[in-house]
Amino acid sequence: MIKVAVFGYGTVGSGVVDVIDDNNELISKRIGDDICVKYILDIREFPGDRNESKIVHDVNVILDDPEVSIICETMGGTKFAYPYTKSALEKGKSVCTSNKELVAAYGPELLETAKANNCSYLFEASVGGGIPIIRPMNTSLAPEHIEKIIGILNGTTNYMLTKMAREGSNYDDVLKEAQDKGYAERNPEADVEGYDACRKIAILSSLMTGKTVNYENIYTEGITKLTAIDFEYAAKLDRSIKLLAIAEDRDGKLAAMVAPFMIGREHPLNGVNDVFNAIYVTGNKVDDVMFYGKGAGMLPTASAVVSDVVECARNMGRNISFAWSDEKAPLADFKDNERSFFVRIKQNAKDEAKEMFADAKEVEGVSGEYAFVTAKMSEREFDDKIVKLSDVINIIRIEE
């Protein structure tokens, strides 16, 4: 009998318990042994809950129980999740997590701790919710030199951008709707400022390079400056606006960033809408592959956690390794990236802009504005020019 404990009985944690209970016969058959949840760690009481008898408040009850071999960490944050996870791994208990913040901050250390104690630290659910991406990168794409990863990695912002594009809604209105539907937190900063997507691309970048990419070093912009008018312009250009997370190998250095981009209708990520996520991976031999699905939500994320439980159960007493060292990956300066830019300015600055960006393509604008798309240039060259231009309303990068 495989006995599992769950750290945190919130949305994902309760989903993990439901997946193991509801699909128990199927999971047990695929593992080759029976499986059950023995403990659930939470500071709260759950009177009347069907799993009330499994609730414990002391982590040591779980850590000191030799019957528990696999732990699902769904607490979030690092304050408690980090010491609890490390202690579990030191005791030879495998840990499966959905905690992107913990993986991004302590991934190499926890992977090394797991290796030293013949257990595993798995984190399929930390990127892309229910989309399989971590295991494919570690196994199916293991022979590949990954040249580029570009993804829509946050369901909340993708839902908001989809609503703004379809309905012409303003940012504040779609944010409130996302909060009312439970897609956005009361404090939505991690999503709308791009921090969530940044942590996820840092994890994927680390697996891509085999070295550590600190999310703090990745240039990140959110969606808070976008307005309904930006989407009117995008439609005129036959483009959509998406929050993209990009990691690219540039001559042995990693160029990574998170920002809103205009993409064309032919772009593979153009049709990814609502709360769906997608990750587009380019390898030097396999060429292009794409992973698509629900990037968040109780059951899709819980299913990804339990997929790791199955993997750990199949490899009991063995370490599932990852090529991810604590050596820092060399980073390229994102200002060397070359692309075109969509720019909105006030009408009175039109002549100034035409002189400064002589090769720009004018876009039919709204009253009182002048809009244009620049020729392809480096971020540095664009910054040097745009800082001299008065009355800039907004700027959106273009991804071809």
Q: Which residue type sits at 120?
A: S
DSSP H stretches of helix in the chain: 11-22, 24-31, 59-63, 81-90, 100-116, 134-138, 155-167, 171-180, 189-192, 195-209, 228-236, 298-314, 350-356, 379-386
Residues 6+ apart with CB under 8 A from 177: 163, 169
Task: Answer yes or no: 200 catalytic.
Answer: yes
- At 68, list the tokens: 């528990």
Tracing tokens 């944010």 back to the chain, one arrives at 175
- At 158, list the tokens: 């993708």
- Look at residue 134 and give its three-state secondary structure: helix
Tracing tokens 């994102």 back to the chain, one arrives at 334
> In sequence order, what are the beta bridge partners of 246?
150, 257
Distance between CA 195 and CA 190 in Å, rounded? 5
Q: Which residue type sits at 70?
A: I
- Look at residue 372 and give its three-state secondary structure: strand
> In sequence order, what are the beta bridge partners of 392?
345
Q: How many CA atoms lie within 13 A of 61 on its CB side?
A: 14
Tracing tokens 């064309």 back to the chain, one arrives at 264
C-alpha closest to that of 75 among 91, 65, 62: 62
> Pairing mode, if any, of strands 338-346 and 276-283?
unpaired
Taking CA 147 as the corner, what is the angle to CA 306 and CA 107, rounded to the nearest 5 degrees? 40
Distance between CA 121 and CA 203 in Å, rounded? 14
Among residues 200, 211, 242, 294, the one annotated as catalytic is 200
Annotated active-site positions, please? 200
